[in-house]
Structure 1
Amino acid sequence: MPCKKPHHTSEGSNEQKGDGSFEILPKGLNIVWGNDPRYWNIPDTGAAELIQVSWLEVTGKVSIKDRGKYRVSFEVRVKEDGFGWQGTEVLVMAKIGKRGRYQFRVNKLSPSTHNIIIPQLDNGPLDIAVDNPPSDLHFGLYEVWSGKWKGGLQIIKATVEPVT
């Protein structure tokens, strides 16, 4: 019997919109342990929901065609019964090209009834300069250092948009 891959691989083409922005829904992201229903629920439409993991890694890639600065963010929500987030730092990271140097912003999450955008503006936005298009912009949402089990996170979408 063939073994199913444990990780969810992006199913989207992540095309740039006319205004230069990208909206990446959960099916268009790479999610570590995303194909294992013990850890994630990734429906065909709507938010991906983290059941439980100790290693949070959600990544994506878009091809930038125009020179400029691009802002990277994730829209997320931690459900009221979410766990493992207290005092845990979650990083939104981005870089240009596979060998680029990551830039990041640190965020702290807590259970809530509403969606939030991270990185939160009080931490400063995550803006990446694209000097030599076309370039691949790699980005991700990570919490791989604490070793704590965590759950209840919903990922609504990731966004990459030009900074005007």
Structure 2
Amino acid sequence: MGFQLRNHNRDVTARSSSPHWKPVDGGSSSVFPDPNLRGAYRVPARALNIVWGKDPRYWQWIPLSDHDKRGSGFKDEVAMLVQFRVGAFGWHSVPVKFKVKQSNGGEEKVRSVVVEPYRQKHGVWHEISGGEFTVQAAGGVVEFGMYEIETEWWKGCMVLAGVKIRPKP
């Protein structure tokens, strides 16, 4: 594939008292080819580091019922798979930040997205682009994330199914 996914904290055990969700294996064994799109990969939500992800006051794990190797030099895109429930709140007007960084000395790319148009279409799965990167011949590590927006408003009722890594058209 030409890249690896990295979560920052790989030393977490299942007995951790931290309120943050971190996969025990660092999430590296949870990358799957996407059967619907050649050259794309899926990363399920449980393979991601999620702030407050183990605290049921802020995060709930819910069941979801509907839910090729290339050479180097190709651009890939990271897309978050999200759905907003009826009553989703706190997502209006202020952009959410998405970051993508490669270990080969590349700079961190930050993308801001206002998600209000997605929130207005509740119950529909959305693929929100979080940024892109170029697959290098020498391989490397790609780090990506969806980060806190700069507001004090509470946010709720967004479902994160996982992440897709797919060829950029």
TM more than 0.5: yes
Cα pair distance change 1:113/1:17, threshold 3 Å:
closer
Match 1:102 to one of 103, 108, 115: 108
Compared with structure 1, are the counterparts of its residues 98 and 81 closer, same or farther at alpha carbon in structure 2 (3 Å cutoff)? farther
Cα distance 1:162–1:35, how it changes in 2: closer, same or farther (>3 A)? same
| Structure with greater strand percent | 1
Q: Which TM-score applies when normalising by structure 1?
A: 0.72
* Distance change (3 Å), C-alpha of 1:89 and 1:20: same
Unaligned runs of 5+ residues in structure 2 are 1-14
Deviation per CA, 1:109-135, whole angstroms, max 9, x where unpaired?
A: 23323121113xxxxx72211334321
Distance 1:28 1:74 in 2: 13
**Please, which of 3, 15, 31 is the counterpart of residue 31 of structure 2?**
15
Deviations 1:49-107 (CA, angstroms, capped at 9, x unpaired): xxxxxxxxxxxxxxx99522111111111212111111121122211029642213221
Say which SS state the counterpart of residue 88 (structure 1) adopts.
coil
Alignment check: 8 A CA contact 2:39 2:166 kept: yes
How high is the TM-score relative to the length of structure 2?
A: 0.70
> Quick check: 1:8–1:34 contact (8 Å CA) kept in 2?
yes
When the two chains are superposed, the root-mean-square deviation of aligned CA atoms in Å is 2.8
Q: Percent identity?
A: 26
The one-letter amino acid paired with 1:7 is H
Provide the rounded CA distance (Å) in 1 between the counterparts of 2:16 and 2:40: 37
| Residue segments in structure 1 that go unaligned for 5+ positions in a row | 48-63, 120-124
Q: Where in structure 1 do 4 or more consecutive aligned residues deviate above 4 Å? A: none
Look up the match of 2:44. Answer: 25
Partner of residue 90, structure 2: 84
Q: Aligned residue pairs: how many?
A: 141
